[in-house]
Amino acid sequence: MRDDARLFRERLLVKGVTVLPFEEPTLPHGFWEYAPLADTAADAMCEAFQELPDSTPDRPAP
């Protein structure tokens, strides 16, 4: 992450927003888009999603 993204992450955390920062220094910004084309990007994306909490909503969607 760049410095501005780290600062933004900190501001969100202070406000109580859940932040799941994921840094993959060997891949470019937006590497998610390369997942279908590059195993390294796909592996990094799978690793990032394993860190996500259960996606079952606690309340109904708007």
Instruction: Identify the pLDDT of residue 7.
Output: 92
pTM for the model: 0.49
Examine the pLDDT at 52 and tell me if it is beyond 90: no
Q: Let me know if 34 is exposed, middle or buried by CB neighbors in 10 A (0-12, 13-18, 19+).
A: middle
Instruction: Identify the pLDDT of residue 54.
Output: 64
- Cα–Cα distances (Å) from 49 to 3, 32, 52, in that order, read 23, 11, 5
Examine the pLDDT at 25 and tell me if it is beyond 60: yes
